[in-house]
Structure 1
Amino acid sequence: MASLYDRFVLPRLLKCACAAPPIMKQRAKVVPAAEGRVLELGIGMGLNLGLYDPGKVESVTGVDPAPELRAIAEAAPRDPRLSVRVEDGTAEALPFEAGSFDCVVCTFTLCSVHTPAAALSEARRVLKPGGRFLYCEHGLSPDADVAKWQRRIEPVWKRIAGGCHLTRPVTSAIEAAGFTVRRHESMYLPRTPRFAGWNEWGEATPR
């Protein structure tokens, strides 16, 4: 059973952090490119739903293990033409057949899943041949001084931020999971502490 912190405090904290203007600007660089049948890993509060193009997207299926966040996602603003289904599930064990989706969207999710390699393997499994994996994630900084502080802060950060990790690699982990990265960009987010601000985004296809 979720603690009182997880039920009442964490959703408010996540909304403040994950809906901050720099974060939403990054989401807008990735999500509108989705097409066809889309799976969103860790849909959370549904912050991406207003960014999908209903002219290109047939449907969006979102999975998340937290009932409190799924309830928020169900009510999140979106174009009324967009077909959305929000389901209970974890990224590491997706309840879908292989080759079910044209596109998998993963934004600010790999930091908090239990096993990123398993989540990426599942994303690859459920994608159709030639399908696209669109990602935007924060993670391990390439700068040694920043990475040092990330490692120092991470144990406390995980406890207060719903299991969010600061030191997980992003693009290299995607490549290691059997994807070919077709587009990759990175930067420190503005108006964000550097220990939490390293961001990588792009597009990959299964090998």
Structure 2
Amino acid sequence: MKFFATFGLLEDIRAAIQTAFVPTLVAILRDPILVFRPHEVSRIFMAYVWRLFGDGVDGNARPVKEELLPANCYGVVLDIGAGHGHTALYLDHTKVTKYVALEPNVLMHPEIRITAAKKGFTEEAGTLLILPYGAEQISLIASALGGAHAVDTLVSILSLCSIPDPEQTLRRLVNDALKPGGTLLFYEHVLSPREDVARWQRFWAPVWVYIMDGCRIDRPTHVWIEKIDAWAEGSVWGKEGEPEEHLFWHRVGRYVKKDD
């Protein structure tokens, strides 16, 4: 691998620390009990990081999202790890009845409301629902949606990298939350098939996961999705113009669940 491809993410790490370290430290000084709540500290840090990175990450993925989301999202859309709710910007309001933003970091919820409202999705109108749960909390998600199999379209944009127990969580989301005949759409950075790239992904993973609130750059997420025994059809493709020797190697996919 070329030097920049191998060490380029150091600039992202530097920018994240430069942006989020001081305000996170201030939050701890104001509430010292946070020292004993590292998970909360990580979410505070990530909330500041995403203020810096969120719009840029969305912009970099815009061509992919414009191809993937408007044509395929319909009904009740569950957005896993919604972040600032950028997915809502790509939804066709004539086809989507409700945008459900699943985001465990409550510090990001105000931004979700602002972003979703730009496309007409609001809590007042009953077209926006923000859930403060992790993707693994299937029973709570189902309860909030009125029962199992309430989701028409399951969307993950750069989020499956950070969910806990990913293989089991993915299976349960598909089996228990997604309707028969429903659609799963994803755009994720995944483990590279190139051994030299994969080796460096595994090298950097312990650092990146700490800085980026649980994000792993070495998960074969697309492989796990394909293995789920629930699909009537599916397809996976790459990001146009992306070099193979990229630590953030992306896969895009659309799967349709069997209509029992």
Q: 1:91: how far off?
A: 0.6
Structure 1 residue aligned with 2:83, among 44, 56, 60?
A: 44
Report the TM-score, using the length of structure 1 for normalisation.
0.88
Structure 1 residue aligned with 2:246, among 190, 194, 199?
A: 194
Separation in 1, partners of 2:172, 2:89:
25
Deviation digits for residues 60-110 of structure 1 (CA, Å, limit 9, x no counterpart): 111111011222212115312672211111111132122111111111111
Structure 1 residue aligned with 2:202, among 151, 168, 171?
A: 151
Match of 1:9 in 2: 48
Match of 1:104 in 2: 154
Deviation digits for residues 29-85 of structure 1 (CA, Å, limit 9, x no counterpart): 322120111111111110111110111111111111101122221211531267221
Match of 2:188 in 1: 137
Structure 2 residue aligned with 1:25, among 40, 60, 63?
A: 63
More strand by share: 1
Separation in 1, partners of 2:111, 2:79:
15
More helix by share: 2
Is contact 1:188–1:194 with CA below 8 Å preserved after alignment?
no
Separation in 1, partners of 2:47, 2:99:
27
Letter in 2 for 1:135: F
Structure 1, unaligned stretches of length 5 or more? none
- Find the residue that maps to 1:194 and give its secondary structure: coil
In structure 2, do the counterparts of structure 1 residues 206 and 119 end up closer, same or farther at CA, with 3 Å as the change threshold?
Answer: same
- Find the residue that maps to 2:61 and give its secondary structure: helix
Match of 1:72 in 2: 111
In structure 2, do the counterparts of structure 1 residues 187 and 9 end up closer, same or farther at CA, with 3 Å as the change threshold?
Answer: same
- Find the residue that maps to 2:152 and give its secondary structure: strand
Structure 1 residue aligned with 2:101, among 40, 62, 65?
A: 62
Is the radius of gyration larger for structure 1 or structure 2? 2
Is contact 1:185–1:201 with CA below 8 Å preserved after alignment?
yes
Structure 2 residue aligned with 1:85, among 123, 129, 134?
A: 129
- Find the residue that maps to 1:172 and give its secondary structure: helix
Separation in 1, partners of 2:121, 2:179:
24
Report the TM-score, using the length of structure 2 for normalisation.
0.71
Deviation digits for residues 166-205 of structure 1 (CA, Å, limit 9, x no counterpart): 1101221002233435121024764998112x11111112
- Find the residue that maps to 1:75 and give its secondary structure: helix
Q: Which runs of 4+ in 1 moved over 3 A?
A: 187-193
Greater shift, 146-155 or 173-182, is seen at 173-182
- Find the residue that maps to 1:119 and give its secondary structure: helix
Is contact 2:98–2:121 with CA below 8 Å preserved after alignment?
no
Separation in 1, partners of 2:56, 2:119:
24
Letter in 2 for 1:99: H
In structure 2, do the counterparts of structure 1 residues 39 and 8 end up closer, same or farther at CA, with 3 Å as the change threshold?
Answer: closer
Separation in 1, partners of 2:241, 2:52:
19
Matching of residue 183 in structure 1 with residue 235 in structure 2 = yes
Separation in 2, partners of 1:140, 1:7:
23
Structure 2, unaligned stretches of length 5 or more? 1-36
Is contact 2:64–2:239 with CA below 8 Å preserved after alignment?
no
In structure 2, do the counterparts of structure 1 residues 192 and 112 end up closer, same or farther at CA, with 3 Å as the change threshold?
Answer: farther
